[in-house]
Structure 1
Amino acid sequence: MGVNAMRVAAGEAQAALRAGWQAQRAGALTVSWMLHGGPGVGKTQIVQQLATEMGARLYDLRLTTIEPQDLRGLPYYDHDTRKTLWYRPEDLPDDPDTPSLLFLDELTAAAPHLQPAVYGLLQERRVGPHRLPDSVFIVAAGNTVEDGAVAYEMGSALSDRLVHLMVQATATDWLENYAVPTGLHPAVVAFVRTRPDLLETTAQSLDRGEMIAATPRSWERVSQILGAVRDRRLRHMMVAGTLGEAIAAEFAVVADDIAATVRVAEMLAVPQKSRWAMYPASMHGLHALVYGLIGALEADTVAEVSEVMAGLPALPRERPEEGFARLPLAELTTHGFELLLRRGLDRGLGEAFLAAPAYVAYAEERAALGLG
């Protein structure tokens, strides 16, 4: 059976869970949630980020690694009552005063004989004698049979106990709500921005009978490889083993161009008149520069980062290459400043950023053009 729920981006799914948590705290809604989606689409990251926002302790329970008795706990005999009682398992939250998020991961890959043990957790918020406090928020996640992952069909008795969200990867959502805030490598962010179709290729890989596909999770791994391995050939081998050889070959061209032309730290250390020759000449390189500037935004770099960003629209005038005149530099500048402002607010640098001379001049110019 297909999952006939609305398909949403990861950011939308997180917003729905956030609203669900707020409603539960207000006593207006207490339900259990299910995130469906392909491997590596970002389900786990959604839950981890939500737990951080909630200030909650995360109980990550991988259902493929447990048996039903692991949820019920260990039995012991009470001689006073002449009854068999059960020790509560450590994987179940029990503190009524501390927010907790119980994450039932790989629900659809759990053996069918385990699912009845989960029914009570999802609906009655209990398993055996153990009840969950009202401070516990429940989210489950799993792949579908169509994803090519190990998964069982979800029966109606289980499905009816959940609010379902079908998570799909979208480049804009992933870039703005995860890749940029997390500080993934500028080459990864720039490449996915210009090739959004290659963020998630699981379906195409399955159609071609290929084992390796690009996913948001694999792109995060590529970012880690770029930061950890200097040898170009070894790095390319690792990236090919993460994304597949064809995508890795295309990415290598972009990564090499960025490595050769993007020099964020050097640009921030010199005056603007010395920076013009240091701007990359390719769109990939300019995108990487923008994301590199976002990552470099600190209390002591606000003015310099703003100056470099504000210089983008002036490149056709300052550089002789004909190509700059054909590039959407104004749009790139606007996009860059929007992300910089968000980054500044997140880091408590809002006032300093809004007062930076280069940003003030940029905002005044847009206001004069009626762009707000």
Structure 2
Amino acid sequence: MVRITQILNLPPETLNRTLLLGGPGIGKTEITEQYARELAKKEGRTFVDLDLLDERAAHKLAEDCEGYFVYLRVAAPHIFPEDVSIPKPLASGDVIDFLTPVRLKILSKCRGLFFIDEMTNVKRADQRVFFYSLVQEGKAGWSWRLSPDVIVVLAGNPPSMSVDAEPLPAPLLNRLTVLNVEPPTVDEWCAYMDRRYGDAWERAVCEFLKEGPSFLFEPPKEPEGLEAYPTPRSWTRLAVQLHILGGIKADEDLVAEVVYGNVGRATGSRFLNFYMSRIPKEFFRKASRAVEKV
């Protein structure tokens, strides 16, 4: 196993055609985008998230992407073979050509990183076969081919941690470097929160996790249910929400439910006990009842 943050140290040639296999919420998407941003900076290129471009800017970039580094994240279950090459009759009437969506056209010309998420959630057989040639040759459909300057990274969850996840076909696995990844350390998570949110998050979460690092990621025993559970992603959400709730002096019952709704009751009760013991008592209007519940 490697920590997800260690991906940042890999050279592009090694990361290319890699499947990041790990639990939900540990930061696979965040790290991959961070990798793309840092690589763009290292190469002196302007980073562009293709999801944030309007159509006019996308068409302009498709014509000239010199000096840019493009990034596109897509969920694998949302990619269908028929989406890549769209048939269009030519004027002669007896032949057709194939059109390519503008963002895929950009990926056929530019330097960048193509992140294919939720790979283990693909159900349709034709979708799975579609990824064989895309991963191995960078080719899909009749007319679309990835630029050789594009890094392809895939991610997925083990079936033991996601009810939607399924094992991948052996021919596809054989085309990939499979890296089993685990969560970041608590210090790495806290540094990420500082970098991403500045002062707009509740630092008590970091202090709590430093005292109990095992609480950072506790996957559920069953792959489906209705109880929340702690992951770096859910702690991130909770830390931001607590900062907002603290600013409006929210009722302690609401605070407790937000905590439980993000990290579950078992871990949430431990965190609440820690959290309530370190903040001003006037934050709560009925603190004694909240402590009793914990």
CA 215–30 in structure 1, closer or farther in 2 if over 3 Å, else same: closer
**Match of residue 150 from structure 2:** 136
Q: Distance in 2 between matches of 1:126 and 1:173?
A: 41
**Cα distance in 2 between the residues matched to 1:13 and 1:148:** 22
The answer to whether structure 1 residue 216 and structure 2 residue 229 are counterparts is no
2:132 is aligned with 1:147: no
Query: Counterpart of 2:241?
Result: 225
Residue of structure 2 equivalent to 1:63 = 76
Alpha-carbon distance between aligned partners in 1 of 2:118 and 2:144, rounded to the nearest angstrom? 22
5 Å-filtered alignment, 1:81-96, equals 82-94=94-106
**1:274-285 equivalent positions in 2, closer than 5 A:** none
**1:199 equivalent in alignment to 2:238:** no
* Partner-residue secondary structure (3-state), 1:149: coil
SS in structure 1 at match of 2:166: coil
The 5-angstrom pairing of residues 2-151 of structure 1 reads: 7-16=1-10, 19=11, 21=12, 23=13, 31-53=16-38, 54=40, 55=47, 56-70=69-83, 72-80=84-92, 82-94=94-106, 98-113=110-125, 114-128=127-141, 129-151=143-165
Say whether 1:248 aligns with 2:268. yes
In the superposition, relative to structure 1, how do residues 208 and 148 fare at CA in structure 2: closer, same or farther (>3 Å)? Answer: closer
Give the structure with the larger helix fraction.
Answer: 1
The TM-score normalised by the length of structure 2 is 0.75
Q: For the residues of structure 2 that align with 1:106 and 1:148, how far apart are their CA atoms?
A: 10
Write out aligned runs for 1:231-310 (5 A): 231=250, 232-260=252-280
Is the contact made by 2:76 and 2:117 (CA closer than 8 Å) also made in structure 1?
Answer: yes
Alignment partner of 2:74: what SS?
strand
CA spacing shift, 1:88–1:173, aligned 2, 3 Å: farther
Q: Do structure 1's residue 175 and structure 2's residue 189 form an aligned pair?
A: yes
Cα distance, 1:258 vs. partner?
3.3
Q: Work out the CA distance in 2 between the residues paired with 1:93 and 1:162.
A: 24
Number of aligned positions between the proteins: 244
Q: Distance in 1 between matches of 2:150 and 2:98?
A: 21
Q: CA deviation at 1:108?
A: 0.8
Tell me which amino acid in the other structure corresponds to 1:147. M
Alpha-carbon distance between aligned partners in 1 of 2:261 and 2:7, rounded to the nearest angstrom: 30
Contact 1:225/1:239 (CA < 8 Å) preserved in 2?
Answer: no
- Structure in which a larger fraction of residues adopt strand: 2
Provide the C-alpha distance between the structure 1 equivalents of 2:21 and 2:235, rounded to a whole number of angstroms. 20
Q: CA deviation at 1:124?
A: 0.3
Query: Unmatched 5+ residue regions in structure 2?
Result: 41-46, 48-68, 282-294
In structure 2, how many angstroms separate the alpha carbons of the residues matched to 1:15 and 1:49?
11
Q: Which runs of 5+ in 1 are unaligned?
A: 1-6, 24-28, 262-372
| Alignment-derived partner of residue 290 in structure 2 | none
Identity, in percent, stands at 26
TM-score relative to the length of structure 1: 0.60
Q: Classify 1:195/1:15 alpha carbon distance in 2 versus 1 (closer, same or farther; 3 Å).
A: same
Task: Please tell me whether the aligned partners of residues 108 and 145 of structure 2 are also in contact (alpha carbons under 8 angstroms).
Answer: no
Q: Quick one: structure 1 residues 81 and 159, their matched pair in 2 at CA, closer, same or farther if it must change by over 3 Å?
A: farther
Task: Specify whether residues 101 and 207 from structure 1 end up closer, same or farther in structure 2 by C-alpha distance, changes over 3 A only.
Answer: closer
Q: Point out the more displaced range, 94-103 or 104-113.
A: 94-103
Larger RCO (alpha carbons 8 Å, 6+ apart): 2
Contact 1:57 1:101 (C-alpha < 8 Å) held by counterparts: yes
Does the 8 Å contact 1:57/1:100 carry over to 2?
yes
Which residue of 2 is the match for residue 330 of structure 1?
none
Amino acid at match of 2:134: L
Change in CA separation of 1:207 and 1:148 when aligned onto 2, cut-off 3 Å: closer
Change beyond 3 A, Cα 1:176–1:220: closer
Mark the CA change 1:118 to 1:91 in structure 2 (over 3 Å): closer, same or farther: farther
Cα distance change of structure 1 residues 165 and 99 upon mapping to structure 2, 3 Å threshold: same
| Distance (whole Å) between structure 1 residues aligned to residue 275 and residue 138 of structure 2 | 49
